[in-house]
A and B are shown apart, each in its own frame.
Chain A
Amino acid sequence: MIYADNAATTKMSEAAIHTMTELLQDAWGNPSSLYTHGQKAKEVLEKAREDVAAAIGAEPREIIFTSGGSEADNQAIRSAAESGRRKGKTHIISSAFEHHAVLHTLERLKKEGFEVTLLDVHENGLIRPEEVEAAIREDTCLVTIMTANNEIGTIEPIREIGAVCRAKGVLFHTDAVQAVGHIPLNVKEDNIDLLSASAHKFHGPKGVGFLYVRKGVPVTNLIEGGAQERGRRAGTENVPGIAAMATALKEAIAHMPENTTKLTALRDRLIDGLLQIPHSALNGDRAQRLPGNVNFCFEGIEGESLLLLLDDKGIQASSGSACTSGSLDPSHVLLAIGRVHDVAHGSLRLSIGEDLTEEDADYIIRSVGEVVTYLRGFSPIWRDLMAGKKEFIL
């Protein structure tokens, strides 16, 4: 089996599983309790906080543990919005291809009277810092732009965007769910005020994530209750999960240089191989992209069929077709980079992991080629394209 859907979730690392299972046995106390067993859990929790903070160049007190990336996105945006509203600033800037945890939160804020500007992500899937600057107004309270896109893997110029925001006195949040543990990040050097991350995207457990909040940035609670997380997120902490996240993150960062070299070579091999398929196209900038992300459109076929047949060949991947999203529209990300519906339905995302081999990559290229050819063989669109009744888009 070849697992090529690491952007959806990753397999937990051995070390993270070890940390988690050990702590489920040994550190089940409540970190808020004052007796020995509770304090042991508290120690584990605070050590994890130090490790997570160090991984992104933050201070431990700037880390809030959450249930994952979505919660962190919600809390970050809500916090900046509430703080802005108190000063009469109700304008937010984001981009058209953010994760729905961001876009849906912004939709809700619009109903509450906020105005939202969604920046163009251009054909290459890269946001331009000068366009962020131009969009900032007197009443802008937040810019929220993802570090790396979850579908097409493009890496945004967040340091430059952060600098623009800093200069204009506007808060900058970045959804770094796909980036943390995969590319170097430093919240201070990258001018980030708020950052969201999720453990299961870097070989940690599901249901755990964190929000970085720069010291001095006001935070709004989404979950009221106890005084956990310095009163910023109530609920007894998931100590084993949080510690396993810290283990996974430390490991990811320690191995980042060699993983990046290996994955980038495999990614480029896959891209070059898949480009040989006629009427196909890579989605997103080729260079400014995550080491493990490959995303293609193939004209004349539909993505779900492609995924099911690849699954039969032992390859597990993802698509932005409508049929895989449960709606009639294909991926908003592919539409945002200008892919028309017809070809956006025929997309394939391969998000590879460190365990992939060159042989696996070649097998993927061969298999995708076979399946695409097979499906085109009885596609009425392909017939029309080949007969010249319809113009090729790709």
Chain B
Amino acid sequence: MALYSEKVMDHFRNPRNVGVIEDANGIGEVGNAKCGDIMKMYLKIEDGIVVDVKFETFGCGSAIASSSMATELIKGQPVSEVKKLTNKAVAEALDGLPDYKMHCSVLAEEAIQAALEDYEKRTGIKI
């Protein structure tokens, strides 16, 4: 049995929405180098919609795949929906993660929530 599902490997090999948004209005960074995972999410929110999202990740295969999948799940979505995104949804969309890798999906959720908080702080708009 392979370590990861095909979906995880697909998102790991061909990560979606990789990079930086120069004029992002919500940025969230979670994790630390000590534990071996850092995720950074850049959001561009216009009229309550996440019109663009990009990520940078230092981490293992499932961390990269979780970041990629999370960006796909929220792109084009209203912020109210994005706020409800859970790590479970990310993991399920990837056809599951090994138990000891579930924390990668948690990081993806936290990175997005951190970016939303940053957006609220910058704009004063409460989601």
Contact = CB atoms under 8 A, between A and B. Distances in A.
A312 B13 contact: yes
A308 interface: yes
A323 B61 CA distance: 9
B35 interface: yes
Contacts of B37: 302
Contact of B64 (A305, A321, A383): A305
Interface string A283-312: 000000000000000001111110011001
A141 B64 CA distance: 49
Interface in A340-394: 341-342, 345, 377-383
B59 interface: yes
Given A322-B36, A341-B34, A378 B60 contact: no
Contacts of A328: 35-36
Interface residues of A, number: 25
B119 interface: no
B36 A380 contact: no
Contacts of B35: 322, 328, 341
Contacts, number: 68
A216 interface: no
B78 interface: no
Nearest to B38: A380
A328 B62 CA distance: 14
B56 A323 contact: no
B75 interface: no
A378 B18 contact: yes
Chain B interface residue bracket vs A: 20 to 34
Contacts of A302: 36-37, 58-60, 63
Binding site of A, secondary structure by majority: helix, strand, loop or mixed? Answer: helix
Nearest to A383: B56
A330 B20 CA distance: 28
Binding site of B, secondary structure by majority: helix, strand, loop or mixed? Answer: mixed
Contact of B36 (A308, A323, A382): A323
A305 B33 contact: no
A326 interface: yes
Nearest to B12: A308
Contacts of A301: 58
B31 to A, nearest CB: 9
Contact of B56 (A303, A330, A380): A380
18 contacts: A300-B58, A302-B36, A302-B58, A302-B59, A305-B12, A305-B60, A308-B9, A308-B61, A323-B36, A323-B62, A328-B35, A342-B34, A377-B18, A378-B19, A378-B55, A378-B56, A379-B56, A382-B58
Interface of A: 300-305, 308-309, 312, 321-323, 326, 328, 330, 341-342, 345, 377-383
Top 5 nearest A-B pairs by Cβ distance? A323-B60, A304-B60, A342-B33, A345-B36, A380-B40
